[in-house]
Structure 1
Amino acid sequence: MNEGTGRRQQHRQEMLAEIVATTRDIVVADGPGAVTIAAVAGRIGVTPPALYRYADGREGLLGLAREAVAEELTNELLKAQESAGDSPAEQVVAVCRQLRDWALRHRAEFGLLFGMLTALPSDQHSAAMRLARIFEEGVLRQFAARPFPVPADEDLPERLRTGLSAYRERLLVRASEAGIPLTSLSVAATAALLDYWTRVYGLISMEVYGQLAHAVHDGAPLLDAVLAQLTGSD
């Protein structure tokens, strides 16, 4: 790489970082609806056409910001998981508590990640999917170490068994790729994992958006109750 190419690449990275930071600032201050090419360009001090070299319109700007926020949150969750030690159950608890803590400190960014479903890419590598994988792999590790009780597959409705069969296979592949010693996974266990994720995510979302305020001033005990059931410590 020659010196000129290196400078151009450095300039591009610096410009992308400024675009992401500016877009995120607008989301936090005024909401994602206020993000436009003109608004970001004006704050940075460039012409709107110049931004199209970095982002494909408004959705491109939001996508860049979303990916940066997802990376930040992913790093926080992985640090929490690592600091929890070797116990899979304690790792799951640490990850979920850190997700709640981050979400309450970054409500606008939480909405950017999880609240704009029409803007999310449809592939499995989207920001929200990558974050869900951290939880899923944590629960798979816990289930491999200490399976939680689940009903027999035949006790589940047939539509549920059929609907979850493909997801079950993906989880087994994911466990293998992550080095998790899990050779089998029932559909009922798959349903339980998905149920716990929706309960954890649902509680955090409701607290972030103020939908628990009529009932409790602090959602932490509700989350801890779900985690106690999940880890078998209730």
Structure 2
Amino acid sequence: MPTTPRARARAQTMTDIVRIGREHLATDGAAALSLRAVARDLGVVSSAVYRYVSSRDELLTLLVVDGYNALGDEVDTALSAAPDDPIEQLRTLARAIHRWSRAEPARYGLLFGTPVPGYNAPADQTVPPGTRVITTLLTLLARAYQTNQLNAPSVDPHVPPTLATTFTQIRTEFHLDLPNWLIARGITFWTSLLGAVSADIFDMYGPDTFPNRNALFDLHLDTLVDMLGYRPNR
């Protein structure tokens, strides 16, 4: 925590810059973000804001990190009240992502929508918060596997050597002993989950189709859990 008045003032200004950036993201879109506009709403001359944020890309990075952490907090809060069962917690995680994205469509779009032209997110700043939810997902898959809630396929999928190397890196990075078939299914679960969320948030169905989007999402979720090979413990 900042301990001096100057440090506290700087921290408050950075908080305000991110807040105003979120507001402009929602009204103008990521590609139209402007530090001049942020400075205007902050009540300072445009040159002053550059003492805190050096460029539009740095502002985008702040908003990306802020969005990933907000999503991670939403998931963590939902899981804290979920039953102690990895499959039910997977469902809770998925619904938390869906709920957050509907409440924060602009922030979801920044994280998982169309890339902003000319912007490359710095991995050292965005990967740790960006993998919070993925880490939780993989941990839940590992728990479901260890408690024999997931059926292995009758025939293991063919994993080309280049993919096998990546799968090994995933096991090492996340400290999880998952078989190739479950890593493959986990990737399909994650990308399909984001596809289902995006179809709703970006209204790919059309405004008059599927009025009960939560019920539709739960159907998607049932299919994804079945795809994992879920078998309830009896």
TM-score range for the pair, normalised by the shorter chain length: 0.7 to 0.9
For the Cα contact (< 8 Å) 2:21–2:63, is it kept in 1? yes
For the Cα contact (< 8 Å) 1:89–1:231, is it kept in 2? no
* Secondary structure in structure 1 of the residue aligned to 2:4: helix
- 1:186 maps to 179
Aligned mates of 1:19, 1:120 — CA distance in 2:
19
Matched positions, count: 222
Instruction: Specify which of 123, 130, 139 is matched with residue 141 of structure 2.
Output: 139
- 1:15 maps to 13
For the Cα contact (< 8 Å) 1:199–1:226, is it kept in 2? no
Instruction: Specify which of 61, 84, 87 is matched with residue 86 of structure 1.
Output: 84
Instruction: Note the aligned Cα RMSD (angstroms).
Output: 2.6
Answer with 64-73 or 218-227: which moved more.
218-227
Aligned mates of 1:52, 1:144 — CA distance in 2:
51
Residue 127 of structure 1: how far off its partner (Å): 4.1
Residue 233 of structure 1: how far off its partner (Å): 6.0
Answer yes or no: is 1:199 the counterpart of 2:195.
Answer: no
For the Cα contact (< 8 Å) 2:90–2:140, is it kept in 1? yes
- 2:62 maps to 64
Q: TM-score scaled by structure 1? A: 0.83
Letter in 1 for 2:163: L
Identify the structure with bigger relative contact order (alpha carbons < 8 Å, sequence gap 6+). Answer: 2
Identity %: 25
Summarize deviations over 1:170-214 as a string: whole Å, max 9, x none. 3333553xxxxx5x4222221111111111111111111111337
- 2:51 maps to 53
Aligned mates of 1:6, 1:174 — CA distance in 2:
38
Aligned mates of 1:146, 1:169 — CA distance in 2:
22
For the Cα contact (< 8 Å) 2:167–2:180, is it kept in 1? yes
* Secondary structure in structure 2 of the residue aligned to 1:125: helix
- 1:216 maps to 210
1:132/1:210 CA distance change after superposition, 3 Å: same
- 1:36-185 equivalence runs, <5 A: 36-117=34-115, 118-123=119-124, 125=127, 127-151=129-153, 155-157=156-158, 160-176=159-175, 184-185=177-178
Aligned mates of 1:13, 1:29 — CA distance in 2:
25
Residue 111 of structure 1: how far off its partner (Å): 0.6
* Secondary structure in structure 1 of the residue aligned to 2:127: coil
For the Cα contact (< 8 Å) 1:137–1:174, is it kept in 2? no
Structure 2 gaps of 5+ residues are none
Letter in 1 for 2:197: I
Answer with 165-174 or 65-74: which moved more.
165-174
Letter in 1 for 2:77: K
- 1:33 maps to 31
* Secondary structure in structure 2 of the residue aligned to 1:55: coil
For the Cα contact (< 8 Å) 1:35–1:58, is it kept in 2? yes
Letter in 1 for 2:166: Y
For the Cα contact (< 8 Å) 1:28–1:108, is it kept in 2? yes
1:148/1:164 CA distance change after superposition, 3 Å: farther
Structure 1 gaps of 5+ residues are 177-181
For the Cα contact (< 8 Å) 1:164–1:187, is it kept in 2? no
1:65/1:12 CA distance change after superposition, 3 Å: same
Structure 1 or 2: more helix by fraction: 1
